[in-house]
Chains A and B, each alone.
Chain A
């Protein structure tokens, strides 16, 4: 007989999102809150992120990943959160039933509320149609990070990093400090994928070249990587083959984006937003299936863990409260330079403040953020790498409702201000 467990809130994933959501759910009054984590320790990706820069928003101090994780693990334990480690959720139904493979064997769980906090996965070579041979020595940046920082292996000596996402930039510095030579970071777009501060402190500090607007044409090598071939792009975005060059190396790291890990969400049949790759949610983080919530990188890819914590705490509070679901009659869609918007649904009767997140499609100078035509924020610069989070104030929300009425479709626009 497979044991059946009843919980008030089941949280899937014990990364920063799951830890914050579970703690908040307990504090909001939920009696039994269980976190299911497939790894042997909580913290998600944080234990391998040994660099500093975490916690500036949440704690006003600069912590490393393991330190940041430790604080939230302690908080969650003190709040009375129940941890299921080495426990992988195999299935999730719309009726909020989970099957979990745990050290005690298979367990069925029925949950009044479920919080999805599974995080994301890295895009790989096939995802970007990386050409050439398939020798040993090609890693995603996060895998290399785990090898170096947790397992204690150096993946190679001469490294080219394809893509300039934050993990790639962090690894460029990390491998340099461990004695490897990083020969270039190659980025397809004309601007870096990661934060400006990481370009400065991870590349410029160590004289690592950043090759913007360059395509990686192929990986070379038979048994082991021997080099990569790159070429600059012309104005139409095509590689100029006559200017192709080979960079000799024994290792290639890929830092080419993240994909929210939504296999369980699909199984449950909840609505996904193709723009974010995550669930479509309302202002509480509740998905199209009542009682199932989502937060953190499984909802939308974040650049800062502090924002994950803030988002997950808010969602966890709703999941832990006994309030009925929102009415969700307003659709929210991106416009102008905005690439996506979270949440995708709003309830006309919601009580502000609530938070809206968006990212821009292209870098721009001073920009305004408008909701239903009402200016809700301004930014001095906007960059695709940096998420824009706006707390919508009660006064602005009243204006928005007056503009659009309480039904239909609202636009969230980011637009550059004319100088």
Chain B
């Protein structure tokens, strides 16, 4: 087994550092270079082993002038669940009022990750 090198842009913040992640055979943690912070280091490591993203989308809203309620996953979701997760949420509907941060779904597709509202919809709005 030879060393494995991956290069990609860090998405942790808008600086967009160019990361190089090198996995040496027999080494537990891959080496990350090009990052300018601790979060970039962690991102570089998880990106090669278990890439995750926050999913943001909207769901149907009834009983309010606003027709869509914006939601997000409360934690990053394994990347392969982004499309199925969004598809599942297309079938979800809630009725106003809704509180900011209210849990809409406790567990999205068995990932253990909750879906929460990212805006409040007060009664009568």
For B106, the chain A residues whose CB sits under 8 A away are none
Q: Are B54 and A70 in contact (CB under 8 A)?
A: no
Please measure, in the bound complex, the distance between the C-alpha atom of A53 and the C-alpha atom of B118, giving whole angstroms. 13
Contact with B along A52-90 (1 / 0, CB 8 A): 110010000010111100100000000000000000000
Given contacts A67-B118, A178-B86, A197-B9, contact A56 B70 (CB under 8 A): no
For A196, the chain B residues whose CB sits under 8 A away are 9, 16, 18
Q: Are B11 and A51 in contact (CB under 8 A)?
A: no
Q: Are B90 and A179 in contact (CB under 8 A)?
A: yes
CB of B63 closer than 8 Å to a CB of A: no
Contact with A along B55-99 (1 / 0, CB 8 A): 111101000001110101000000100110011001000000000
Q: Are B68 and A195 in contact (CB under 8 A)?
A: no
Please measure, in the bound complex, the distance between the C-alpha atom of A388 and the C-alpha atom of B78, giving whole angstroms. 33
Q: Are A304 and B119 in contact (CB under 8 A)?
A: no
Q: Are A149 and B14 in contact (CB under 8 A)?
A: no
Please measure, in the bound complex, the distance between the C-alpha atom of A264 and the C-alpha atom of B72, giving whole angstroms. 37
For A70, the chain B residues whose CB sits under 8 A away are 100, 119-120
Q: Are B16 and A150 in contact (CB under 8 A)?
A: no
Q: Chain B, interface size: which category?
A: 20 to 34
Q: Are A51 and B14 in contact (CB under 8 A)?
A: no
Please measure, in the bound complex, the distance between the C-alpha atom of A226 and the C-alpha atom of B8, giving whole angstroms. 35
State which residues 157-178 of A face B: CB under 8 Å. Answer: 176-178
For B57, the chain A residues whose CB sits under 8 A away are 50, 177-178
Q: Are A67 and B100 in contact (CB under 8 A)?
A: yes
Name the distance in Å between B83's Cβ and chain A's nearest Cβ.
7
Tell me the B residues contacting A by CB distance below 8 Å.
Answer: 8-14, 16, 18, 53-58, 60, 66-68, 70, 72, 79, 82-83, 86-87, 90, 100, 118-120
**8 CB-based A-B contacts, threshold 8 Å:** A64-B118, A148-B58, A152-B60, A177-B83, A197-B14, A204-B8, A205-B82, A386-B16
Q: A148-B58, A178-B57 are in contact. List 12 more A-B contacts (CB 8 A).
A: A50-B56, A50-B57, A51-B56, A64-B72, A66-B70, A151-B67, A177-B83, A177-B86, A196-B16, A197-B14, A200-B9, A304-B14
